Structure formats: structure tokens, C-alpha cells
Structure 1
Amino acid sequence: MKKTLECGQEVRTDFALAPGYRNLNHGSYGTYPIPVRTTFRNFQELTEARPDAFVRYEYRTHLLNECRGAVEDYLHAPKDTCVFVPNATTGVETVLRNIQYDEGDVVIGFATLYEAFANTLRYLTQTTPLRVHMIEYTLPVSNAFLCDALEMAIKTIRAGGLRPRLLLFDTINTLPGVRMPFERLTKLCKMYDIWSCIDGAHGIGHIPLDLQDLDPDFFVTNCHKWLYTPRGSGILYVPVRNQHLLRSTLPTSFGFGDNFVANFASCGTLDDTPYLCVPDALGWRASLTWQGQTGEVAITSYMFHLARSGGEAVARILGTEVLENEDGTLGDCALTNVRLPIGALFHETEGSKVPEDIGEWIMRTMILERRTAVNVFLYADAWWARLSAPVYATLEDFEVAGRHLRELCESIDK
């Protein structure tokens, strides 16, 4: 009989985390189970035993395509629409830098856009005719608010004689870590005839995805976060109708040409063996259970439940609250954001108020001294902790994190 593992403490035994280390910042770097590590190392050994034989006549001829096929099946994506990239950042950059921008073109983004992509857009405004329109808002807001704000932005841009070309948005934002109404936003993009580019870094393995049904123009995700594969490993999905738009990889590959899949097969010398771990990661996931459920349903149910119950536990310990809207949709994911019971301290610098970086001290102390990883960040003049709920974490981990955070915040107040 196939071995099964119950999500939580039992699953943790399948990970190589140091004893006593509580990894509640899984969403930043991810980690992977020991059985997948075995697969990873086996492929590395095969590569080093016969480099040319393996890379030329095994990896490129069939192994890579088999793993792409496994991803396409998992994401319900049509054949030859998914290619591997090292990470979501590379994937989104590939999209943004391949598009030809004309005078009057506008890319729309939300205020919570990942900082790297905000920087890319700023760079493109300096090197191309592109303009950027950011939709400003402060969480918590409703899904309806975000969708209405997008429609208003599109109408405002067009009323000014400009052309909205693309909307860049998340499945789940990075900081704060909240779920976006990406399904409705994708439909609005179709309705208004603009491209949808989805940053799904927190996507595959985290939330159910059906790319054939969603049908975005571009979708990027990281396998090394919530699919539990070695890093770096990401997926770029482009439907056939748009593949001609991505003329080059980053960097330009020796496979440069008209074939989308072949173009992305090799983009410079990298350790591509993480890509080959996807099938075994999917097989490992199928062995997980929780409350009578198995596989993907068990994983999603456990992570979402733990994020909500864990976030509420931390908020009770701190005497604060979880970041959530009235509809309760922001927390439909495996991330939770809890306000810390300290205000944002400011100092004057050249006539401007600059926040003291006490968040970095809290995060460093939590990770290095308290052996509990969380992500601490400043948002809307308040300090927050983002906590992840991977399959190996437990409610006890959240409670311990809450007590550590309370002690550190009390020491700051003193």
C-alpha cells in the first residue's frame, strides 16, 4: 500500500528542516520534501556522470518535454503552452521586455504590485514610450472595489487619448500576502480588450488553477514555493495566440526562432534539474491526507484552514487583528497578515519623515535567535507579520511565533 502522510506534524518528518526551526516564511523561498530531494540529487549525479550524454540526449530530447507535459496536465493548460523559467520574475520580465511599446501605450498595475515589477515598469518608461498607470488603494478593500477601480482606470486612460495595453496583477500579493480577484480581473481584461499578465508566483500548488478556463494572455508561477520543488523553478504560460509576441528569451537563447517551446528549452548554462523534479513532487503531493481528504484537496484545505486559524491565534496573542475585508476573501490562501502591536516610529531626514526599520530587527531576531521565520513589513503606517501555512506547519508553530512576536514588541515599547 502506498505510504500516506497526514498534513502537519507528520508531513514535517518528510522535510529536512532543522530541529526546532519553524519556517513560517515558506512563501519567500519555499522548501521541498526529502523524497523530492532524492530525485533532485539523482538527476544532478546523472548530469555529472555523463554531461553531454545526459544534457543532449536525455534532458533535451525527452525529459524536459515530459516534465512540461506534467505541468500542463496539472494546470489544465493546452499542449505546448507552458515552458520552464528559473522563477516568476524572469517570466514576467520576459513578457514585459518583449512587447513593443508605442507612443500612448499604458500598462496598468495595482499599488500592491511586486516591487521588482514596479521597478521594471519604471525602467521601461525611461527607455521606451510606455506610460504606467498605478491604481492606488489601501487594504483592506473588497474584490468589487478592485474590479471597479480597474474599469475606472481603463476609462480614464482612454478618455485621455491613451491606449491601455496590459494589466499586470497577482493571484496572491506578496506583501501584504492577500488573494486578488484574479479570475474577475482576467475577464475584465477580455471585456476591455487589453492583455492580462498574471504574476502567479504564489499560484501553482497553492490555489486550484485551470488555465484553459481562466485563459489569461500571460501567466507566470513558481514551482519552488508551493509545489514543493527545488529552487529555482518556474513556469511561463503563453497561449498559442500570443506566442509570436515573445520573440526572445532572457537572455536570448541559441534556440532563438519561431518555435516557442524550442526557444525556451535552453537559456544559457544553468542547473535545470529542478525542472525534472516536478513529476515526483506531484506524486508526493498525492500521498498527503487531511481529515479524510487526499492529494490536492487535502493540501489546499489544510493550508487555508491553518492560515486562518493560525492568523487568528497570533492576533489573539498580540491583541491585534488579521488583515481581512468584510467579505473574507483576502485570506482565501495559505498566507495571513497580522498587525503587530507597535506603531511606525519616524525620524526626520532632510525635512522628510522616514520610518525606523524596527521591522528588520524583529525579523532578524525572530529568524536567528528565536528560530522562527516570519516576514515583517511596514504597510499603511503599521508593522505587520506575514505568516505562511505550508503543509508541514502546525497551529503550535503559529502560537509560538505569536508569543515570540509579543515579547519582541514589548521590548520595543519598553
Structure 2
Amino acid sequence: MSDFLLDPDVVFLNHGSFGACPRLVFDQYQRWQRELERQPVRFLQRELPQLLADARRQLAEYLGAHSTEVVLVPNPTFAANTIARCLPLGAGDEVLISDQEYGACRFAFQYAAQKKGFRVVEQSIPLPVESDEAIVEAFWQGVTKDTRLIFISHITSTTALTLPVAKICQRARDAGILTMIDGAHAPGQIDVNLKEIGADFYTATCHKWMCAPKGSGFFFVREDRQHLVEPLVVGWGWGPEKTFHRENEFISNHEWLGTHDPAAYLAVPAAIAWHKEHFTSEARERSREFARLAVNLASQIDGIERVHPDAFFQQMGLIDITAKKVDDHVQFKSRLYDAYKIEVPVIRWRDRTLIRVSTHAYTTEDHIHTFAQALKETFGG
């Protein structure tokens, strides 16, 4: 835990919300901020374009993509708004999502639907799941002749379920339907190869499981789809003089949003390097085992149930405490923190009350047992 800046007195089981940045990465982040302040004009106008290109190249290599297909953005909500507003969708068109999508991104499509007249169709994926094939078939029941875009998560935020996105993208491509994947919880938690996934659009954070600084994310658009994507914010990259033009129109239009602090973007290569050196496949598997341990220990308490088989979740484990009849899930979350210093999300979803346990390199077995003991003392068992 000393590698991170987290409060050692807190049992931090909520990496999934905002991540946590290792000291080495945070040091690089602050170094870039100091470089900016030493000579802002030189840094922003003469040095930044190449620095961003280098960061983007390393990120693209990490993701199995080409650097001209990836642009740095603050977060997936930004990318979802871009697609929702710019695609030529109108009356009679449908965007298909699952019932487990992240609220802010779902709102982006619902907002655009009100403005442009298309429909957002929400398809249920019943839990518990049994197989990838069953997930695809359940989701595909929502596809109609009017479906123009599928927007679905790689790993869902609410239910921590890993979805077979490559199979969904292949089936959509065969049907002539565009696909956008919300990968907020994927890179860093699992290996991501964008070429193999085959989505038209893919977005994710770098500040969650990759452990980069807050406010760093990416937006991938296949080269043959880039003509469909207009910038959410019009700035110098779009203008006729192309002041910040780089490799291509896509990057020029979407990456330069005006004056802002680019340090989080520039620290992404440091986060990738930290992962390669410190969060090896063995360390990742250890973290997954702690998530599974949390689920198994909690589910031994009467009235608490596991939600997914081990194969369908990674470093986010989910338990169902609906039978415990928690009246106020927000208050219950506060109780766990106030009484036990446990930081963990308690979620209301479809009349169910869920606890999502996130683990990472700093998680210890003692953290998991403290969590399990807190549930026993709270609920009995």
C-alpha cells in the first residue's frame, strides 16, 4: 500500500469508482505540471503537440491500435456525448443499450434522443448469467430493423459483469450495425486489444484500472469511421488554419479543446510503465483472488448472495444484500465507513441492493476479512 497515496487507515475497496494513482505515476504527473508553469507558451505551443503524440503512440500500442485511431479525452462521458450528438440519427432510428449501462453515458444518449428524435432501447441481460452465448442471445433480442448503433459496456459499472463484446461486435458488423463500447473498467483490469474486439468506437478511462491521474481517458475510432465523428468542442483543431493539426483530421479536431492542463494525459505512459513493472499477471491474479474471496466470505452469511460465477468478474466482485432489507443504501454505505473505515459502494439497481468490492495492488487479505467481519457484525451470521 506504500506505493500509493491512499490513507492507510481506510480499507479502500472502491478502486472502480475513481481508481488510485501510484506515487511514481503521481510524481510524473506533477513534474509535467511544473514544466507547464515554468514556461507556459513554450510548453503549450511548441512542445505539447509532440508530447501528446508520444503519449498517444504508447497508449495505442498498449491497446493494440494505431496512434491515428486514438485521441486523448477527459473521460468516457465526453466520448459518449460526442457520438450521441454527431451520428446522423433521427426519427425511426434506434440505439440499443443494455440495462446495466453507466448512468452518465446512458443520459448522453437519452438527451440526444430527445433533441434528434431517435429512440434509446434498453435490453435486459438477466442475472445470473450462464455463458457468453446466453448473454449475446439475451441482448440480441433488442435488435430490430431500425437498430443503427449498439452501445454497451465491456465490464459493467453497476453489476461488474464482463460482457463478450468481441462476439457482440462481430454479430453487429455482420448485420450492418455500428458499435460503441464503454470500456471504462477494462484496460488495466483485463488485457484489451482493440483490433481483436472490432468495435467501431471504444472509449475508456486511464485513471481507473490503469492507475493514471484523474481526468485521463481515450476515445478510439476506426479510421474508416472517422468521417462520421464531429468534435464535441470546436476549437483551433477544427479551424481553417489548423493551428494544432497533427497526424490527421480526427486527432486535430478532437484533442485540442483550448487551454487546459494536459499533465494527466502526459502521465499515461508512466502509468503504463508502472503496470508493466509492478502489476504483473501474477499480481493481477492475486487481486482477482481477493475479489473472489470477498464474494465467497460474504455469501456465507445468511441472506447474502453472490451474483456472478467467478469466470464473469475480474477485480470487482458483487454481492446481493437485498434480502437484508436495507432501507437506505446511501446511509448503509456511510455506516460501513463511519464504523469500520471501509470505503465500498452500495448500489440500488432494479430493486436490488448490491455491494461492489474492488481490489487492486494495495489490497490485502486483512482488508477482505475486515469487510467480511463488518458484514457479519452488521447483519449477524
Shared fold (TM-score, shorter chain, > 0.5): yes
Contact 2:151 2:180 in 1 (8 A): yes
2: CA distance, partners of 1:381 / 1:367: 23
Contact 2:57 2:66 in 1 (8 A): no
Correspondence 1:66 to 2:75: no
Amino acid at match of 1:102: G
Deviation sequence 1:52-95 (CA, Å, 0-9, x none): 111111112x1100000000110110231111000111112111
* RMSD between superposed Cα atoms in Å: 2.0
Superposition misfits of 4+ residues, deviation over 6 angstroms: none
Deviation sequence 1:142-194 (CA, Å, 0-9, x none): 3323211333322xx22xxxx21000001111111111111211111112110
Contact 2:101 2:156 in 1 (8 A): yes
Shift of 1:117: 2.3
Correspondence 1:313 to 2:297: yes
1: CA distance, partners of 2:141 / 2:10: 47
Which residues of structure 1 form unaligned runs of 5+? 1-11, 290-294, 346-355
Secondary structure, aligned partner of 1:14 = coil
Shift of 1:317: 4.9
Contact 2:95 2:149 in 1 (8 A): yes
Which residue does the alignment assign to 1:135?
A: 123
- Picking from 367, 372, 375, the partner of 1:397 is 367
| Residues 254-333 of structure 1 aligned to structure 2 (within 5 Å) | 254-256=236-238, 259-288=249-278, 295=280, 297-317=281-301, 320-325=304-309, 328-331=310-313, 333=314
- Picking from 193, 218, 233, the partner of 1:251 is 233
Q: Percent identity?
A: 26
- Picking from 86, 90, 95, the partner of 2:74 is 86
| Residues 102-251 of structure 1 aligned to structure 2 (within 5 Å) | 102-142=90-130, 143-154=132-143, 157-158=144-145, 163-248=146-231, 250-251=232-233
- Picking from 333, 336, 340, the partner of 1:366 is 336
Secondary structure, aligned partner of 1:80 = helix
Amino acid at match of 1:375: P
1: CA distance, partners of 2:124 / 2:274: 41
Secondary structure, aligned partner of 2:267 = helix
Amino acid at match of 2:159: P
- Picking from 8, 25, 42, the partner of 1:36 is 25
Contact 2:73 2:255 in 1 (8 A): no
1: CA distance, partners of 2:235 / 2:11: 40
Secondary structure, aligned partner of 1:269 = coil
Shift of 1:37: 1.1
- Picking from 407, 411, 414, the partner of 2:377 is 407
Secondary structure, aligned partner of 2:340 = coil
**TM-score in terms of structure 1 length:** 0.85
Amino acid at match of 1:77: A
Secondary structure, aligned partner of 1:254 = coil
Which residue does the alignment assign to 1:6?
A: none
Shift of 1:369: 4.1
Which residue does the alignment assign to 2:245?
A: none
